[in-house]
Each structure stands twice: as C-alpha cells, then as structure tokens.
Structure 1
Amino acid sequence: MPSRAYGDELLLYPSQHRVGSTDDTRPRASIKRNPSDFVVHEVDVRGEKVQFEASDLADQPCPVKKEEHKHLSKESITQLAHLVLSEFLDEQGLEDFSSFYDALASHAPRGTREKSLLVTSRVHLEKVGRTRFHCSIREHFPLTSSETAQSNDGMPTFKIHPTTKRDIHRLEAKERPAYTHFTLRKENIDTAHALSVISRVLHVPPKAFTFAGAKDKHAITFQRVSAKGIAWSRIASVNNSSKIQVSHPTDEMVPLFLGDLTGNNFTIVLREVSHWGSHEDEKVRSIEVDGFINYYGPQRFGTSSCATHTIGTAVVNGEFSVALAMLLGSRAEFSAEFTAATDGLSFQDLQDNMADDLCAVTARYRSAYEACPRKLTVEKSILGILAEQPRNYQAAWFRIPRNTRRLYTHALQSIVWNEMVSARLEAYGTCVVVGDVVQCTGSPDKSAGEDSNGRRPDASTSDFQIVTEENLHTFAMLDVVMPLPGSDTTLLYPTHGCGKEAYRAKLTAFRAERLFEDVEEPGGYRAVMAKPSQMSHRVIPSETDSELLSVELSFSLRKGCYATALLREIVSVQ
C-alpha cells in the first residue's frame, strides 16, 4: 500500500464537503514546516490556558537541608538540644546527644565517633509522644535520624544515628503529597514517548504518569501531567533537553484523568499561502460564528502506509495475526532500531513465519525481543509473548495496554463517523432536518461524543432526542450529533436516510459489522459542527518570496475537536 500524505483529504473527507462551499477556491498552504508553526496550549477544567515559564526550570532544593548545621559550635548545639529536647531527655541524655551531634557537625573522623547513640526518655511516652520526639529530631537536627529501639513500661529508648540517603528518601516519601502536577513542554515528540523518556530518566514505570489528553507530535505543546509519589526535585532533573522541559509544580491529592480538560488553544502559522484576500477574511469570521464540520483529523488515522482504522477492522474481526502484522510493520517504517531488531521476520502476515520450523521461529522471536530497545515498550511486549507462544496472537495483542489498543477500534469508529457525516451533509446540507439526532440537555462537551481517549461521556439517552416537525425550529445545527457505532443498544440513530441501516451498510463496506457486537466499544455521540472561540488571524508577508504569504491563526477548540478539520475549511493543505 503506498504511503499516505499527512493531509490526505480523500481518505478523511470522502465527499470533500465544506461549509458553504461548492467549489474549491481555497488557497494552497503548508502546515507544520517547523514545530514552532504549530503551538498548542492545553486549557484546563477551570478554562485557564496552561502556562510555562523558562525561569521556573531550576531544580528545587531537597526538603532536608544539612549545610546550615555543618558549622555549628558545640555550645550552639547544646543550647538547641536543651531548648528542643529537654521535655524528653534528662541532663545526661542531652549531654550525650549534644556530643554525638557535635561530632557529626564538626566532621570528626569515623573511627573517633560512635556509629549510633542510645538515649532513654525521662518521661512516660505513648505513641503520640514518641512521634513528637522523632519530628523534633528530624526538624531541628537534620544530620541525624531517630527510631524507637525499645519501650519498657512506656519509657522508650531511642536510637540516634547519622542521616543516610535512604532516610532522606523515606522522609520525602512520607511527607510528599500523593501526586505532583506539573506543566510538560515538549517539541517534536508525542506525549506517550515524552513520558516514556521521563520515566526512564527517573527509573519509574510509565504508569506513574497520567495526563488529560495526548497532544500533537509535530508541534510545540504545553500540557499538565500528574506524577504519583515522585517529588518535584526529581522531576525537575529532566530539564536538560530542548525537546522535553517541565515547570509549574503543584501538590495535589488526586491524579489527572483522561478528559480532565476543557479544550486546547492553538497558534498555527500557515506557510507558502498561495493567496489571501477579503474572501478568506470573511471565511475566518464565518467559522467563528457558524462553526466548521467536526471531522476527525488525520492524527486519528496515523501517518504510516497502514491506516490505524484498518488495524481496528482486523481486531473487530478477531484477526489478531493480521492486526499484529500491520501494527509491527507500520512501526518498522519509522524506527530503524526496530527494523534492525526484527530482521528476518515477515510482517506481511505473522502466520507466514509459521511455515518454518517452530523452534526456528521461536528463536527468531526471542532474538528480536532481546534486540528490541526497551524504549519501544509496545513492540517489545508483543515480541515477548510471541517468543514464548509463537501462535498465540490474541495474547500478544492483549499484552498491549488497553488504552493503546483501543485507539485502533476508535479509529474505525471515527472513519465510519466521518463518512456518515459526509453522507448526511450531502443529503441534507447544513440545516436541521426532521429525523436528526440532537442534544437537548447537558454541556456542549458531551455532544463531542467522547473524551480525548475516545470514551463515551457520562450522558444518558434522555440527553438526546430525534427532531420532529413539532420541535424542528427549536434546534440549531450546532445541536445536531451523529452516533459513533458501537454495541450500546440504547444509542439513538437518525430516522432519515442516514440511520442505523445506513450505518450497517457502511460497516459492511469496511468489513466491520461486528462493531455492533463489540462490548469493549459501546459507541457514543459526536457533534456534527464545532465552534471555535477566541479566533483571530494576521497575514505575514514572506521575506523570501513576494508572491507567497504566511498566515497566523489563533483559536481555541473544546476537547475532542481537531484543528486540522478547521484548517481545511480555509485552506487546501499541501
């Protein structure tokens, strides 16, 4: 199959339909020539644009500071010990502790000082009192740590010893919040890959990080990320790369979940624009007022020779060997390391590999698994299963993380939705008609049909209804939704010519009728039209070619909407 261009409109928008257009007089333009031409700021659940400051990149100091105690005099240590610990220790205990701490603060040679010190409380202490003693040691004498050695009749004996790195890490783990949220700035790298890099640097599993929505790869993007149980002082250590930077830490008690955002703000520079005049100015204004067709953009379907929805078709039909062959083959197109690791394996159909001796095939899978870099987590997990069970393609497929493998069936739903919306617009135009499905209650985000990972929103059937002659004039085109096909039998389908039977015929054309039976994909709704906010544009004359222009567009879209779908209303992307 020949490779597809990034903006292949024939695949994505079969009818070439655009709002208010019957001919194609759009200017030709190029996008994403440089990552800085496509800048995306996430908009959080409070409606605020995610911020990033380069001045905030400096690492923060560790919470336990020792330096200020390394030059204290014996007299100062004794005074501090009497002030802080006199309620716990008698005079002898205070003297012993002061001498022990002074030896640490003055860097006395290890052979001349005790490794630890035992002191006994002069008063009866329950657990709360013992905890107060440990907190006093930790707060005022950071060169030492303490623990309860034994407790006889409520008179505890404490063991004092020099603070180690292990003590510091344990203390940080106890005192740090459950989650650290931070802003991730990434350039020319996708969200999953960026977090994979961070997890390798910090030696933590990738699942320690969560985010509200994936962002474009070929762009500069800013988004919030949550890290479970990782101190900001460690996270900030990744700021040695121009591709990945972090800032703006906050302590939170809950993680980020997919869909925890309002939308995204875009600043896009169109390059080599063939022409721009009053007609294009008016088109931009009309989109801000009337909206644009809410197609799924090309990111949904991948950029390799094997579109992601074709993999989804194989999965829906239970053809796991075919799905794996297409997935691994598409990965090989972009990774020289993976290509080298899998040399000798056929990706036309994994079952072709079974024509050889089973032991030989197993050995090739094992060799490929061992040669596959750890950073290629999905590929390596697949090869790991095939190295143990060469014919168990289903087990290999389900080794892929659930959210990742669902992207392929979501892509299948999306391409069907795109085609059905084109059919609906061809048949009935951009006016509400009897038989349409509309959203009558709830927030506009629900009619987007899904969160950033394709899940159906928390909307009941009562939030949607069929347009009738009686209520036809109470709805606008922005209220119209089309269903994403799935197994949910309560989904409403239009009662006109683009109803459930039309969906069934389209799924049959894609060999995907079983999508109606896939319990993992219930389906949902998505608005036919989307409306941007805060939209503006300016023309930038070219410095090198007087006949070509650059145009900067700025706008915000709610979650689930694609900037590329808006752009195609204005320009023909080359």
Structure 2
Amino acid sequence: MLRSFSYLTDHTGFCGTIKNSPSDFVVTEIEVTEHSVRGTRAEARHELMEAPLGQSSPGLMLDCDHGRAPRPSERQPGWAGGSCPASPGQYQPEGEPEPKPGLEESSNLDSLLGKPMSALLNRFACDLKDAWESESNADSGTGEFSLGPILDKKNRADLHSAIRQKFPFLATVTKDNEMIVKGNADYRELCQLVTEKETSDFFKFLDAKLENSTFSFEPDGNKEHRKVVHHFINRKFGKLLETKSFTVTDVNDQQNMSIMVRFREKSSRKRPAGGFQEKQDLYTAFTLQKENLETLEAIGFLAAELGVLPSDFSYTGIKDKKAITYQPMVVKKVTPERLKEIGSKMEKKGMRIHNIHSACQHLRLGQLKGNHFDIVVRDLKHHNHDSSADLKERISEAMENIEAKGFVNYYGPQRFGQGLNVQTDQIGLALLNENMVKAMKLFFTPEDSDDPVNNAKRYFLQTEDAKGALVMLPEFKVRERMLLRALNRYGVDHEGCTKGWLSIPHSMRIFYVHAYCSKIWNEAASYRLKIYGSKVVEGDLVFSEENESISLDDKV
C-alpha cells in the first residue's frame, strides 16, 4: 500500500510477486473503436494457460482493465539497406571524391570582404569563442557583428557559405540586405553532447548540403547518450536530416555503434491544379504481439527489416517490457503484403504480427480506451501482521472487493523512483519554485550505498567539484554527466544551475515536473476518498458506458 493513502475498502489483503516471467503479465490494448485486439489476445492467452510455466511457483491469475497508458519516449530512427557510414567525424558524398575546401579559405573571405573587414570578423569570432569557453559574460552568446549592406544576391550567398565553412560556430542572417553574424546556439548546444571537432564537422556537412553525402559521429557505445544525440538532431533538423545508429569497427577491431546522418530524400509528389494530392500516403495497420521487448526496441527491428524509419510507425502508447503485450500499430509506406513477408523473421526476435490490413491514417498517442491486464501473482503469503490461517479466504476476500468496488489507480514507484532519500517529485517541486540550486542538490543526493554512481554524487555535494565528479561517474549515467558538464562550465550558483537544467533535453526536465503533478493527483484522490468515500457527489466526473461511441472528452 502507498503511504497514508485512502482506499475503497479496509480488507487486509495478502502478499505476492508479479512479473516472475513475461507470460505472468499479459497486456492488451483496448481500442477506442469497438473492434479491439481482444480476439487475438484471447487465443494467445489460451495458449499461455495451456503451456507449462517452467519452474515458476503456483500463482493467482488476475484479469483487469486499466484506463491509463504511459507515454512513449523518443528513440533513434534508422533505415535499412543504406551504405556504410563515412569515417567518424567526417562527411562523404556517395560515389564522389571528397569535396575540395573552396570558399572556406581565409583568402576567399579576404577577397569577398576586403582584408580590414575580414580581420574584424576574425576578431569577433575569436572573442565570441573565448567568451563561450570562459563564460565570463552571461550574455556572451548574444552579440552580433554587422558586415554592412551586401546588395548583390550572389555575393551574399557566397559570403553565407564562406563564413559558415570557416566559422561553423557562427550563424549568418540577412536583414534588408544587411548581413549579420552571430553565435550559433545550436552549435553550442551540440558541443554539450559531442566533441567540438565532431560539432564543427557536422555543421560544415550541414551547410555544404552535398547530394548523397553522409556524416558519422565518433563511435559511441552508450545507448542512452546516442538517444540524446538522435533526439537533438531530430528536434533541430528533423525536416532536413535523418539519423541511424550503425555497427562499426573501432581502431581496436572492436564492434561499436556510430550515428550516421544523411539528408532526407526530396519528395517528388506534386499537387495538381485541382489542389488534391496525386498520391495518398500508404498506411498499413496491424496488431503487434511482443514478448520481453520494449515497444521502441520492437519498432527498431521492424523498421530495419522493412527499410523504413521508426518514425514511420505510429501507436497509442508504449507497453511493458517484461510481459507479453498486444497493441495496434500503423506503419507508413509499407504494403500489407510486404508486412506479411517478414512475419517469420520477426518471430525469431520475440514478435508476432496479426490482423494486417490497409488503413487510411496513423494513430495518435493516447488514442485508446485503456489496457486489459492478465496478471499471475506468485509466492502468495499472509501479511506479517495477519494472524489468519486461511490464505485462500484472504485472497477470495480481496478479489471480491476489487470486483465489487474496484481500486484507486494511484501512481507508484515507477513514477517517483525507488530512492529512499530523494524522490523525483521533490525535484519537480523545486523546479516549479525556480529554486534551481535546491533542485540540483536534490538530484545529486546519493543513496546510502557504496558504488561509483553514489560516490560521485556524494563527492559533488561535498566539494562542488563538477569536473572531479564527472571523472568518477560511469559513462552510462547520461543525464548526470550532461548536468555536470554544464555545471563545470557555468558554475553551481543559481544562474549556473539554471543553465545546467536547460542543458538537458526538455523531455528529461519535464519528467520531474510530471512526477510532482502525479503526487498532487495521488493526494487529491486520497483526500476525495477520505472526505466523501466512494459515493458520487456534485462536481465528480462520471464515466458512463451507455454510449461507448462517445469519447470521454465529449462527455466532459
């Protein structure tokens, strides 16, 4: 039971364990429309009940619906059948020699701008870089340098290219024929994630826009860190670029992963004079059955086999990993026939594809009625304080209470974390109060254990030495390492901690705020139950099943 919360009944209950094996936890998505995936699930559930469960102990089978689905996180996109990536940190056009330097040379800038203006630009670039590195000025990244009016359009284009090739950390814009040069905020942000050389080479690749060219980052064995880099590129340049992680061999002949970037193919579709699209997008719907796989991991396998991007798949929510799950999905640019062809290959990876048919549109997150759970509870026993000798009676009492009165769907440890000293909602409250230093200290509060992660956190709180803590921290702690890098740059005062929090992706920051919102929901639901019990009172939102074709939003 969750601490000091109110419940619908006061029955004693019992103890047990869940998820001893994937087959102990079967999740089936309940679709908004009447035709759900229940038929497929029912057949598979029968197979599960008939199949032996190995050495697992006898257990109790629970069958329940759940109306709340989790939100998915981002995962890196990919494509199949592509060419091998270029050398790490470099870009290379397919089937063409490496591009010649050209306009990026200083002599070309001198000829375009004249030596005096070129020298001033060079000084501005050096001063900006020094300010970024020293952080002596809080507004160091906001300065601008004017090259004056450049009336000839071709000269402006040549200058834009020349400046960005020589100084990839600069951005150039034109205002009423006047060329303005300033620091590139995207360049600076990427420097927080990869080396400056990689960042510089990436932006040169981006500016060159050479047809069929690719760019590869240095090998990176940290999956979480790769996901952050994928997310950054998709967020900033998703309409122009696409990314995939490829297996590469490093200098020690060891297998590793590297992110490869390429330009998206230009669409050849044209709108006819009538305004209607000549060729509609192709969608294929199916039900995905997976076992002991994350939803996004399963999509990665499917995308690689079908030769499409993971972003071409749509779904309403992610499902548990250690479970057997069923959920509807829609994939774009794949025919039903093509999807059927890969069925046997996917079975070897723990997936089955059912109910394949054409569809007219993609799915949206949250577009579901809920989830149906078939749960086996094992290792059944009494609570320590329960002196009853009849365990079956306790179980029957609990089942009857749930069937008759339901249960309150409180958020649990999955949302708040397993930490004993600090939980995620406390960090969220500090962020909402804009107490950035407190939020940072809470984040780095260690647990009472002697391991590299907690030792690094403990050292940082005692010394405020972000650089030293970064050396101690394992590579897989991506979020912690990103914050420590920022704190090393910006300091540990209010301003430094604010910049530190802003240095991690929004999806990571908002997690803590959502955790505090979840705590408020728990407290409000408990208070409501304590004051009014289970009876309906004025102000309650009641979900009626008289007309299931009406959405919940309509009923509100």
The answer, yes or no, to whether TM exceeds 0.5 is no
Highest CA radius of gyration, 1 or 2? Answer: 1
Higher relative contact order (Cα pairs below 8 Å, separated by 6+ residues):
2
TM-score, normalised to structure 1, is 0.41
